Every structure is written in structure tokens, then in C-alpha cells.
Structure 1
């Protein structure tokens, strides 16, 4: 395949939802237009940022970029789904406004999909970078090991329920190319929130089609204070609550899916951890009464010292419980 010939290659839609990250957005778009795979469209959906990034988009003077700005802030998930639904390509890939791609990301992942129509997605490994863009090699290796990509052989995995939902090796939000038409983009419920990438992987698994793994680090995931992962730490309890609610919603769907019964025990264990995290998040927001049902439900599923301690503290004055 001659990847420089647009007439011989399918259109790939690059989805870039953005909000209030002008500097990072500029870097993300630069990595998109620098792809050696040329037949692309780049959909930038701005979620009513305080500073309109249209001038940044137009500075690239690239007709492949399509810009849309919401009149009001729709929320992260609706803005993301809106961008996916705008896509005209055979394939879609999410490049979030704070992440980066290596220039051969699409060139390496599109050909396997073209060669095998029974593949729903192709994915790769990724680097972890700091706010300033420097690679954190230690954390990169840790993530590769944690998510079971470090020793994963190149090739096709079908089915890939375990790989996608238990090992969580598939990073749909920044390191995968997906066959667009196999997903019903209207079927993604609002409750998945910030866990939309996990739910998208679930929908891909449910097709029964395969996943192709290319064992190189072709994308760069940026860790910084504004990411949902970082915000869901101890100090930002509202982000912790949102993340836990989204994760619980997904886990409850996974536990009910007949195709996932062999992994039900794993999902139940994860549900207990997340339910406890949600209870602790509510305690830190001084909502002790609202926290207790989640802690009780966690204990009914599994005895855990962290959960027991949190439950006991939930009966203390809210300002004391909030220090947990």
C-alpha cells in the first residue's frame, strides 16, 4: 500500500475534542498534520472555551481540519460524541487535545485494518509524558507492564474481552484506530462520563470482531494537573466522585453481560474498590450520609479494612470524616 496516495487509502477521521488548552491543542494538531498517512480529516470540537481556539486552528492553514465550536459547554462526553458523529472517515481515532502522536501512528495501524475486514480496531503501546512534554521513561515502562502490553506479541486477538476490559491494554482514547461504522455512536449512555473510552472498548469487544496489536509506542499520553486521572486524586473529591460513578456504571453493565461471565468475579472486585472510592469521595465532600450506602454495599460484597475504616469514620462529624 502506498500511504502517500490518497486515492488508494481510506479516509481516517481524527477526533480532537478540546476545552481551554490552547498550547496543548496546538501541539496535538501539529502531530496530527505531521502524519505520514495523508488521507485524513481532523475534527476539532471546541466546548465553548473561554478563549476561542479558532485562530490556532486557522494558523495551520490546512483544509483537512474541520473546526466546530459549541455555543455553550455541552460537557466532556457530549462534545466528544459530537465529534465522533461528525466523522466522515472509514476509520476514526481520538487524539485528545493534550496528547501527541508519533508521525507513523496511522501508517502503522491502518494497513492491518485494511488487510483484514474482520478487525474492529488496531492499537499500540504509548509513552507517558509530563506537562512539559518530556518522556517519563520509568512511568512509561510501569504502564506498559501494568496494562499487559510490555510482553504482548504483535498480532490479532479475537475475542479480546480480557485484553480490552480486564488487562485494559487497549487505550481507545489515544492509541487506537477504530472501524467507524461498527459502532452505534448514539448508543453510548451519558452515565459513562469520563470512562467513555472504556465503554468504547467494550462496544468494540461486543462486535465479536478482532483487535490487532502493534508493539511499538506510537502515541504520547500527557499527565498534567487538568487530566481527569490527576484530578481524581485526594484533593479534588468532585473529580473522584465523577470518575467513580462512571466506573461503577460501566462495571455494572459488564457484570450483567452474558459474554463476560467468566470475568464477573474480577468485575465484582473492581466494583467493590470503586464503590469504596465513591464513598470516600462523598465523605471528603462532607456528604457522610450519602457515602454510607456505598460503603455498606462494598462490605456486603467483600470485607476490606479500608472500607471498614471509611464506614466507621462516616459516623463522625463530617469535617472529621472529610480528612480520611
Structure 2
């Protein structure tokens, strides 16, 4: 089954020709060879296109499309999913890459669990030059609930997405499910998290493999970094998304766990963006996020809120919530 199963590896890219070669070479080096590599290029120039045409034109598995005009992150990824012809779909971003047996390791899980719909595993953390930091890699996975004790079929697939255990790339899932959920263009920079949550909520079986299958490159240059201090931040959209979800009662603890992480970030964002009343509301509606007053962040955030009130009064502005796009 595994050798006959075709896997569509989707690679969205934007202005990273210096990094995408490592990503694509890792895909082509997979021990599971029944693959297609779909590239959606949102770049503002032709450097990536020239590189692909020069380096990979001979390999029919590489299928490149230059988006003109550019589609944006969510629509670019959605277009890749729509183009996929494989039985399974995997996603890897242009600055990240797979271990040589990454696809095979994930695909083998379907041999053990034929009804499986979604699989994911651990990610190495690497710096801009590609150097692996083993201690940070362990911390990264532990921070997102990926530990040895968690390996196996997840008892609550939806929880896996909500608490952000499911990674933003380096995963594999049934193509029909991925195409049905796809990426949403109405949630801004939060599209990765919303997709992962909705995918896991829709899946009947999700498996976490405690093994490194991909490399996550951590750099200072990314879309999320450019918006993280503003009201366009992914964390704020994620907070609104999780809050509004209609969930089965059994998943309410997962919602609470997700909001425990998100609420303090949102309080800080509101306080720093001239919305101290909104910040106060979120802080006092989610006291568990601050250990009911025993978390030092609570008092730091109160000081941010107080400063915002004083600053806005001095500027003659009402302390109302900012408008969102």
C-alpha cells in the first residue's frame, strides 16, 4: 500500500530562492518516491522561477506555478491543495524541509491504522543557516504537547488542533479531507492554526508520531513577525476563532487550555494598541490564564493597561477597542 500511495507535497513560496533549494532537494530525496511536488510561487520577482526552471526542469515530479498576481498565503496554499492529485497531501513551507524518511515515516502509520486521516510528528528547530539545536528542538515539541507519552492515536482529535499540538507543516493527511477543509482567506495570518484546528476537528483518527520528520527554520523574517505587535496579529485572530467555536462539551477543557495561552497575548496586544477597556475585559473574563492572580504577568499587564488609559487620556482619545479589518 505504501509504495503505491501517491503523496502530493505542497510547497508555498514567496521571495525565498536562497532557501527553497534545500526544501525541494529534501522532498526529492525522500525514501518514498511516489510523490509529486507542487510549488505555488507568490514571489514579487522572477528569481525563484528562474531557479526552478534551471535546477528542476528535468524532473517531472516537480510542478511549478507562478501566481500572477500573487494570491497571498491562504489562497496560495489552497490552490496547491486543489492541484494535488495524490492520495495523501503533505505541506512543507519553503524555508523548512523534510528528513529523508519523513514522508515514509508518516505514510507507514496508515499500514497500522487503515482508518487514519491525519498524521504528524516532531520538528527539529534549526537556525537561519540550518544548524540543528537539539535542546531547543526538544523544548519546541514539548511546548506544543508533543512528547513520548502523547504518541499514538489521539483520544480527542479536535483537541490536537485546538491546543496547537498539530504543527503548521511537516504533516500528512488524506487528500479528500484536506481539500474539503482547505485554507481560509478570511482569517489573515492565523490561517495555519485555523486550518489545523478545523482539520483535526473534522477527522475521526489523528496520530502523533514521536519522531523527528521535518526541520522548522526559525528566522526573524516572516509574515507573523511583521504583524505580531499589531491588531493583525495571528494570536488575536486565533483568540477570536477559539472563543467563537461551537464545540462539544467534551472539548471545553481543550478550549480553555487554548485560551489560557492566547488570552494574555491578546490582553497585551489590546493594551499596546489603544484598547485598554478591551484588554481589561479579556483579562477578567479569563482569570485562569493568569493563575487567578498568582502569575506575575497579570500585574505587568495591568500596568500596561493603566499606562494605556493615561496615554489615551493625555491624547484626548476614548479608551475603546480598535477597529478590525
TM-score under structure 1 normalisation?
Answer: 0.83
- Cα distance, 1:143 vs structure 2: 1.2
Q: Distance in 1 between matches of 2:46 and 2:79?
A: 20
Q: Does 143-152 or 211-220 show the bigger shift? A: 143-152
Q: Does 80-89 or 192-201 show the bigger shift? A: 192-201
> Which secondary structure does the structure 2 equivalent of 1:294 belong to?
helix
Residue 75 of structure 2, aligned match among 69, 74, 78: 78
Is the alpha carbon distance of 1:2 and 1:210 closer, same or farther for their aligned partners in structure 2, counting shifts above 3 Å? closer
Is the alpha carbon distance of 1:147 and 1:10 closer, same or farther for their aligned partners in structure 2, counting shifts above 3 Å? same
Whether 2:26 is the aligned partner of 1:31: answer yes
> Which secondary structure does the structure 2 equivalent of 1:139 belong to?
helix
Is the alpha carbon distance of 1:185 and 1:195 closer, same or farther for their aligned partners in structure 2, counting shifts above 3 Å? farther
> Which secondary structure does the structure 1 equivalent of 2:310 belong to?
coil
Cα-to-partner distance string for 1:147-169 (whole Å, 9 max, x where unaligned): 22232354322432333322x32
The correspondence of residues 160-199 of structure 1 with structure 2, limited to 5 A, is 160-166=157-163, 168-171=164-167, 173-185=168-180, 188-199=183-194
> Which secondary structure does the structure 2 equivalent of 1:218 belong to?
strand
The correspondence of residues 99-248 of structure 1 with structure 2, limited to 5 A, is 99-152=96-149, 154-166=151-163, 168-171=164-167, 173-185=168-180, 188-231=183-226, 237-238=229-230, 241-248=232-239
Is the alpha carbon distance of 1:231 and 1:150 closer, same or farther for their aligned partners in structure 2, counting shifts above 3 Å? farther
- Cα distance, 1:208 vs structure 2: 4.4
Q: Distance in 2 between matches of 1:241 and 1:196?
A: 12
The answer on whether the counterparts of 1:48 and 1:72 sit within 8 Å (CA) in structure 2 is no
Is the alpha carbon distance of 1:68 and 1:241 closer, same or farther for their aligned partners in structure 2, counting shifts above 3 Å? same
The answer on whether the counterparts of 2:74 and 2:183 sit within 8 Å (CA) in structure 1 is no
Whether 2:307 is the aligned partner of 1:310: answer no
The correspondence of residues 250-265 of structure 1 with structure 2, limited to 5 A, is 250-254=241-245, 256-258=246-248, 260-265=251-256
Residue 273 of structure 1, aligned match among 264, 270, 277: 264
**Structure 1 segments unaligned to the other structure (5+ residues):** 4-8, 283-287
Q: Distance in 1 between matches of 2:180 and 2:277?
A: 33
Residue 299 of structure 1, aligned match among 263, 283, 305: 283
- Cα distance, 1:45 vs structure 2: 0.4
- Cα distance, 1:135 vs structure 2: 0.5
CA-atom RMSD in angstroms: 2.5
Q: Distance in 2 between matches of 1:266 and 1:159?
A: 14
> Which secondary structure does the structure 1 equivalent of 2:235 belong to?
helix
> Which secondary structure does the structure 1 equivalent of 2:149 belong to?
coil
- Cα distance, 1:249 vs structure 2: 3.1
The answer on whether the counterparts of 2:32 and 2:101 sit within 8 Å (CA) in structure 1 is yes
- Corresponding residue of 1:6: none
- Corresponding residue of 1:22: 17
The answer on whether the counterparts of 1:44 and 1:67 sit within 8 Å (CA) in structure 2 is yes
Is the alpha carbon distance of 1:232 and 1:150 closer, same or farther for their aligned partners in structure 2, counting shifts above 3 Å? farther
**Structure 2 segments unaligned to the other structure (5+ residues):** 288-297, 316-325
- Cα distance, 1:281 vs structure 2: 4.8
The answer on whether the counterparts of 1:244 and 1:278 sit within 8 Å (CA) in structure 2 is no
Q: Does 87-96 or 199-208 show the bigger shift? A: 199-208
